[in-house]
């Protein structure tokens, strides 16, 4: 959860980082109307859930933006930004992170209706009771089909990891080709 909270701060506190992220959002999520990450607030649960949803939507652009900063594409990042991007990239692309993120996302999405009701200015106690009962039924249902749910969430995390690995191997291959090309042209001069 800490990494999901840190990433919006990392991008939102720097105009250069935000530009790199927006460029990657336009490239990899062109249909999205959003261009910024939500801060994942500790006290406002609805914002936390929405922030996780936006993080999920922009996961691939985030990884690409961090790669751009890691390799310092365009030479607009300082060494501190490049180092922090490398650390975030390593964490966000680990399977442990992806599996944990999938679990958190799905559990938080289950609680969204109750959370929304509890944080609204007008609460109808009967609506709250019905939503909580519904949440309890969902939790009981999840317990009885835990293997199927595990398999589904595992497949989601695995497929996201495969996409990231494929894209990273393409990027790394292109970057190695670019560096080799750059070194050979530098030697020619």
Q: DSSP letter string over 2-31?
A: HHHHHHHHHHHT-HHHHHHHHHHHHHH-TT
Closest listed residue to residue 2, CA positions, set 37, 44, 52: 52
The CA angle 47-134-124, to the nearest 5 degrees, is 70
CB 98 within 8 A of CB 75: no
Residue 4 to residue 163: CA distance in whole angstroms: 19
pLDDT tens for the chain, 189 residues long, are 788 889 999 998 999 999 999 999 999 999 988 888 877 766 677 777 888 888 999 999 999 999 999 998 778 889 999 999 999 999 999 989 998 999 888 888 888 888 887 777 776 777 778 888 888 888 888 888 888 888 888 888 888 888 877 776 655 554 443 444 334 434 444
pTM of the model: 0.76
Q: Provide the 3-class DSSP secondary structure of residue 94.
A: coil
């Amino acid at each position: 959860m800490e990494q999901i909270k840190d990433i919006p701060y990392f991008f939102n506190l720097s105009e250069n980082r935000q530009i790199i992220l927006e460029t990657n959002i336009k490239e990899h999520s062109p249909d999205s109307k959003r261009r910024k990450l939500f801060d994942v607030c500790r006290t406002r649960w609805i914002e936390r859930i929405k922030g996780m949803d936006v993080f999920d939507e922009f996961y691939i652009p985030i990884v690409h933006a961090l790669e751009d900063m890691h390799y310092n594409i365009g030479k607009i990042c300082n060494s501190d930004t490049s180092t922090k991007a490398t650390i975030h990239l390593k964490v966000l692309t680990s399977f442990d992170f992806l599996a944990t993120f999938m679990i958190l996302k799905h559990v938080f999405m289950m609680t969204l209706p109750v959370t929304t009701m509890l944080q609204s200015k007008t609460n109808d106690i009967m609506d709250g009771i019905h939503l909580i009962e519904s949440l309890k039924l969902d939790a009981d249902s999840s317990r009885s089909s835990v293997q199927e749910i595990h398999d589904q969430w595992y497949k989601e995390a695995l497929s996201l990891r495969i996409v990231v690995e494929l894209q990273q191997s393409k990027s790394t291959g292109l970057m190695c080709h670019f560096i080799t090309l750059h070194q050979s042209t530098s030697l020619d001069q």
